[in-house]
Amino acid sequence: MNIQDNSRYREVHARSLADPEGFWGEAAREIDWIEPAKKVFDPSLGLYGRWFAGAVVNTCYNALDRHVAGGRADQLALIHDSPLDSGVTKFTYAQLLLEVKTLAAVMADFGVTKGDRVILYMPMVPQAVVAMLACARIGAVHSVVFGGFAAKELATRIEDAKPKLIFSASCGIEPGRVVAYKPLLDEAIRLSSAKPQACIILQRARQACELDSGRDHDWAELRAAAIAAKKSADCVPVLATDPLYILYTSGTTGVPKGVVRDNGGHLVALKWSMFNLYGIKPGEVFWCGSDIGWVVGHSYIVYAPLFHGATSIMYEGKPVGTPDAGAFWRVISEHKAVSLFTAPTAFRAIKKEDPEGKLIRQYDLSAFRTLFLAGERADPPTVQWAEAQLQVPVIDHWWQTETGWCIAGNPVGLGMLPVKHGSPTVPMPGYQVDVVDEAAKPVAAGTMGSIVIRLPLPPACLPTLWEQDARCKEAYFHEFPGYYKTSDAGYKDEDGYVFVMGRTDDIINVAGHRLSTGGMEEILASHPDVAECAVLGIKDAIKGEVPCGFLVLKAGVTRHQADVEKDVVALVREKLGPVAAFKLAIVVGRLPKTRSGKILRGTIKKIADGAPWTMPATIEDPKVLEEIGDALKGRV
């Protein structure tokens, strides 16, 4: 390997694969266990073995109590910065612990106990962090649903998780519009056959909502009463292998996958990552600019910084427009953040508004050391622009909801390796990343193939899907025996650098948000005038990709094509949510297909992207592609 010799990476990664129990057993010493594991890894349990089986622990204790006891009571744990609403609010570790203990006691009063599920449908407010940690404190399993999803998506998650309690808020705030959450919550509960016993609603000053007298409770009133009564809940011991949370992510159908995260492995891997990967020391300020509805937000807004005794920034705003493209630099300088972790799309948006980086130079960024990017492929021009403007290392790293932390990255704490633009660098400890052909045989360096991870997966990765072991096996472990299938395609170069080029399934990545085109097709197909449809991701200068729907109308439909196009755009927003950014639907006479009837999505995409394409040998009627090209004229 031709990589920098003063990094400890090679030695550390090799050890993690040669002696996983020794490696993770040592990392586990950083965690306060109630009872340590007798066996670091038990291959006889679960779908591919379980980490820290038999150990007893509490995640909230490791995030808060131990830091308060250990001298960080007055250090800031959480800084909430909201240009969209309330400005800056700060919580020390002691203050955050008090909030969490109080809310956990309120939850216990509602009968929530270990193993019960609790859904959060919340905007980016500190109460959401408090609720997540309060669940962890009493062993309840949280499931956070991103606020940009519509009622039907929320309903699917309620149906699957069967929560005893739901936390929500009167509204979310997006630039120029207030998103009333309560009607969406009510509709979701109506649609779901599983009903929560109660909902705890945060009334926001911007827009309050009506509460249902039988079911809904005012968050602030419950909190005030609990504080007056000095209610407080202790940490409940749970097994390391017990679920901490379920996070639903797009699957290859409209039914999302409930990725399960356990307590013990998650604690160990995330704590390890804070210094070794991100180079953060306890006490420093770390900013992850994601949303708590996504895995990146779970791991690096809420859990990892707190496990590490760092200060986490939670940002309710956008990279541009709140109020301008200098927002990120304002936050970094005001709170002295040493690192920012965001999606490349945010930088593309900033670059568009402030190409020369004039706003960057208005702020003191002297404490800022590293920019981390993830969520979608970091395109080299964006990385180069960020490097030139910020004069700090820009580190792309590759992730999935399923893994809970980075699969391949550049380990700052172990000593950075040279950056190669277009590559998230090298596999992290515990990950043996291979690129294989259809027969699961590793291919030569530089050759594209399916990216897979040799089992067992390291700690923090999914042990299973919620109550769906068989679906988990089928989705991830079946096609390439002995491996976890990432559904990403790419290659490794001769230095072992991983290049992640795109998905092998129907998932597209829109502004760093993971969406299933199959799910959108189901929605389009439900329109009474639509006979057939195809949705694919087409290039977008800011969001990376945006969905584009092609519709074939049923014979005899007399409505104007433009009206049907408008209908389906509205339908996706209503059923899936604004997050889909589905704004383009095009009626065509027919769809290009192979002789066996498969829609040629790849070729349509190339035509829409203006990329070079060749006529597929298996096409049924080559003329259809010309028709597609004509239909796209003036639309993209």
Q: Which residues contact 597 (CB under 8 A, 6 or more apart)?
A: none
Which window, 60-68, 317-325, 441-449, 498-506, contacts ligand COA (CB under 6 A)? 317-325
* Cis bond upstream, residue 256 (ω within 30): no
Choice between 277 and 579, CB closer to ligand COA: 579
| Residue 28 DSSP label | G
- Cβ at position 43, least distance to ligand COA in Å: 33
Choice between 286 and 398, CB closer to ligand AMP: 398
- Cβ at position 250, least distance to ligand AMP in Å: 8
Regarding 178 and contact with ligand COA (CB under 6 A), the answer is: no
- Cβ at position 410, least distance to ligand AMP in Å: 11
Regarding 354 and contact with ligand COA (CB under 6 A), the answer is: no
Choice between 128 and 428, CB closer to ligand COA: 128
The strand ranges marked E within 221-375 are 238-239, 243-249, 257-262, 285-288, 311-315, 337-342, 370-373
Choice between 71 and 175, CB closer to ligand COA: 175
CA–CA gap between residue 212 and residue 230 (Å, rounded): 27
Nearest to 383 by CA among 416, 424, 353: 424
Choice between 81 and 396, CB closer to ligand AMP: 396
Regarding 382 and contact with ligand COA (CB under 6 A), the answer is: no
Regarding 83 and contact with ligand COA (CB under 6 A), the answer is: no
Nearest to 402 by CA among 307, 306, 472: 472
Q: Cα separations (Å) of 400 from 295, 542, 558, 588?
A: 8, 21, 45, 35
In the list 82, 168, 290, 517, the residue contacting ligand COA (rule: CB under 6 A) is 290
- Cβ at position 500, least distance to ligand COA in Å: 15
CA–CA gap between residue 329 and residue 81 (Å, rounded): 13
Regarding 578 and contact with ligand COA (CB under 6 A), the answer is: yes
Regarding 547 and contact with ligand COA (CB under 6 A), the answer is: no
Regarding 405 and contact with ligand AMP (CB under 6 A), the answer is: no
CA–CA gap between residue 299 and residue 143 (Å, rounded): 13
Which window, 235-243, 578-586, 593-601, 608-616, contacts ligand COA (CB under 6 A)? 578-586
| 475: its two tokens | 């989705």
- Cβ at position 546, least distance to ligand COA in Å: 9
Residue type, 362: Q
CA–CA gap between residue 540 and residue 513 (Å, rounded): 14
Choice between 319 and 490, CB closer to ligand AMP: 490
In the list 16, 58, 82, 401, the residue contacting ligand AMP (rule: CB under 6 A) is 401
In the list 26, 30, 32, 174, the residue contacting ligand COA (rule: CB under 6 A) is 174
Regarding 497 and contact with ligand AMP (CB under 6 A), the answer is: no
| Residue 242 DSSP label | S
Question: For 131-144, b where at least 16 C-beta lie within 10 A, e where not — what string?
Answer: bbbbbbbbbbbbbb
In the list 294, 307, 497, 499, the residue contacting ligand COA (rule: CB under 6 A) is 294
In the list 36, 196, 512, 549, the residue contacting ligand COA (rule: CB under 6 A) is 512
- Cβ at position 423, least distance to ligand AMP in Å: 9
CA–CA gap between residue 525 and residue 308 (Å, rounded): 48
In the list 265, 317, 413, 424, the residue contacting ligand AMP (rule: CB under 6 A) is 424
Choice between 243 and 424, CB closer to ligand AMP: 424
Q: Cα separations (Å) of 368 from 312, 329, 333, 340, 380?
A: 14, 10, 8, 8, 21
CA–CA gap between residue 225 and residue 79 (Å, rounded): 25
Binding mask 288-317 for ligand AMP (x = CB under 6 A): -------x----------------------
Regarding 420 and contact with ligand AMP (CB under 6 A), the answer is: no
| 10: its two tokens | 């090679």
Element (H, E) at 1: none
Choice between 246 and 374, CB closer to ligand AMP: 374
Choice between 102 and 401, CB closer to ligand AMP: 401
CA–CA gap between residue 98 and residue 1 (Å, rounded): 51
Regarding 500 and contact with ligand AMP (CB under 6 A), the answer is: yes
Choice between 294 and 405, CB closer to ligand COA: 294
- For the segment 244-263, give every residue that binds ligand AMP (CB under 6 A): 249
In the list 130, 185, 239, 349, the residue contacting ligand COA (rule: CB under 6 A) is 349
Question: For 306-342, b where at least 16 C-beta lie within 10 A, e where not — what string?
Answer: bbbbbbbbbbbbbbbebeebbbbbbbbbebebbbbbb
In the list 400, 425, 450, 517, the residue contacting ligand AMP (rule: CB under 6 A) is 400
Q: Which residues contact 278 (CB under 8 A, 6 or more apart)?
A: 286, 339, 341, 370, 372, 412, 413
* Cis bond upstream, residue 456 (ω within 30): yes
Regarding 376 and contact with ligand AMP (CB under 6 A), the answer is: yes
> Strands 394-396 and 370-373: what pairing?
parallel
Regarding 451 and contact with ligand AMP (CB under 6 A), the answer is: no
Residue 396, binding choice from ligand COA, ligand AMP, none, Cβ under 5 to 8 Å by partner class: ligand AMP
Regarding 326 and contact with ligand COA (CB under 6 A), the answer is: no
Which window, 237-245, 251-259, 327-335, 576-584, contacts ligand COA (CB under 6 A)? 576-584
For the chain, give percent helix, strand, coil, nearest 5.
35, 25, 40
Regarding 296 and contact with ligand COA (CB under 6 A), the answer is: yes
CA dihedral 280, 281, 284, 287 (to 10 degrees): 20
Q: Cα separations (Å) of 396 from 280, 376, 387, 543?
A: 17, 9, 12, 17
Which residue ranges make up the site for ligand AMP (CB under 6 A)?
A: 249, 295, 374-378, 396-401, 424, 486, 488, 500, 503, 509, 514
Which residue ranges make up the site for ligand COA (CB under 6 A)?
A: 147-148, 172, 174, 179, 290-291, 294, 296, 318-320, 343, 345-346, 349, 374-375, 511-513, 542, 578-579, 581
